[in-house]
Structure formats: C-alpha cells, structure tokens
C-alpha cells in the first residue's frame, strides 16, 4: 500500500475498534511489524472474523 493510505488507517494496536461491519479496516503493530486487519464474514451471521496480513509500503 502507499504511505498515504498507511497514514490514513486508524491504529488499534492494543484494542479492537467499535462499529463491527464486514470490510472495516485498520492497522495494528505487533511483533515488530505493522499489520492490516479487517472484519470478514463468519459462518455465524451474528459474528465477524478478524483477518490480517503484513503491510508492505511501496
């Protein structure tokens, strides 16, 4: 992602954001690296899963 996009993401390194909906994205810092996290649909329609991947700035 671009540095501008990275700077625009809300950071929740020690908590989870409120307002759960599919596709909501934020960044978190863990184990010395930045991660992109987002809410994804779960098998149970009353729940959401949290997915993540390392952020690469290009």
Give residue limits of the domains in the chain: 3-54
Mean pLDDT along residues 42-53: 93
Q: What is the pLDDT of residue 14?
A: 94
Query: Which of 33, 40, 39 is CA-nearest to residue 13?
Result: 33
Query: Which of 21, 25, 20 is CA-nearest to residue 10?
Result: 25
Phi-psi region of 16 (alpha: psi -120 to 50; beta: other; left: phi over 0): beta
DSSP string of 43-56, one letter each residue: SSTT-EEEEEEE--
Give 17-40 pLDDT, tens digit per residue: 989 999 999 999 999 999 999 999
Q: What is the pLDDT of residue 37?
A: 97
Q: What is the pLDDT of residue 28?
A: 97
pTM assigned to the model: 0.89
Q: What is the pLDDT of residue 24?
A: 96
């Amino acid at each position: 992602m671009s540095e501008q996009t990275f700077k625009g993401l809300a950071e929740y390194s020690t908590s989870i954001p409120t307002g759960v909906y599919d596709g909501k994205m934020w960044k978190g810092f863990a184990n010395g690296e930045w991660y992109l996290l987002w809410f994804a649909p779960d098998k149970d329609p009353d729940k959401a899963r949290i997915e993540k991947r390392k952020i690469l700035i290009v």
